[in-house]
Amino acid sequence: GENVGLHLPTLSVQEGDNSIINCAYSNSASDYFIWYKQESGKGPQFIIDIRSNMDKRQGQRVTVLLNKTVKHLSLQIAATQPGDSAVYFCAENRDAGNMLTFGGGTRLMVKP
Amino acid sequence: GAGVSQSPSNKVTEKGKDVELRCDPISGHTALYWYRQRLGQGLEFLIYFQGNSAPDKSGLPSDRFSAERTGESVSTLTIQRTQQEDSAVYLCASSRSRGANEKLFFGSGTQLSVL
């Protein structure tokens, strides 16, 4: 079936380095994508979103890239900090009803 | 309150017992969602409420699961005759409406453990 999935279940980076978390989606009808960050014991928190009519969107230290040709989404975190350690989920919105479908998540571990 | 509040934060129950989980959405948010998150996995949609419209129950895994919401306030998720496979974190989220691209705000979840 169609789904949103992640390439890497765990990513370990050195503090100060840049991180790239990847996500693949298979539903070409999806027009809205979101990245959430989930710290231990907490609910997911919105990080950044992007619509399908865009290729790139930047936030504070984070950038989301969307490649519709290969149905690939990535989250780039600049100058990764220990506080960035968490599980990151990508999610797609397949219709206008905000029915988010979440991927399996990638755990980001930041080494001091 | 300032955010989505869920209670209890942890619930341990015996197989076969019923449990009730509570969610207080952000004030003014008309849309409310329940998700289930098994250990190490993504979020699985369960049910959705929008105002006074009929809820979307398409994600409920069995008839042992039900949820209610009165107006645009508190929601309760009930699991009857709990099974061990029901063990998971149950997350509630709310948003201002069901419009496209409305951001979801999540609570911290209820960790349910069925022994």
pLDDT tens figures, B28-80: 898 899 999 988 778 888 999 988 888 989 899 999 999 999 888 899 999 99
Residues of A in contact with B41 (CB under 8 A): 104-105
What pLDDT digit, counting tens, does each position of A7-51 carry?
Answer: 448 999 999 999 999 999 878 888 889 999 999 888 999 999 999
Cβ-nearest to B41 among A36, A46, A104: A104
Which residues, in sequence order, are bridge partners of residue B110? Answer: B90
The alpha carbon of residue B11 is apart from the nearest alpha carbon of chain A, in Å, by 14
Let me know the angle formed at the C-alpha of A38 by A36 and A43, rounded to the nearest 5 degrees: 100
Is pLDDT larger for residue B70 or for residue B113? B113
Local structure of B84: helix, strand or coil: helix
Residues of B in contact with A48 (CB under 8 A): none
Q: Which residue of B has its CA nearest to A48?
A: B103
Torsion of CA B26, A4, A68, A37, to 10 degrees: 40
How distant, in Å, are the alpha carbons of A39, B4, B18, B64 from that of A106? 12, 24, 33, 31
Give the Cα separation of B48 and A33 in Å (integer): 19
CB atoms within 10 A of CB B17: 12
Residues of A in contact with B102 (CB under 8 A): 98
Which residues, in sequence order, are bridge partners of residue A88? Answer: A37, A106
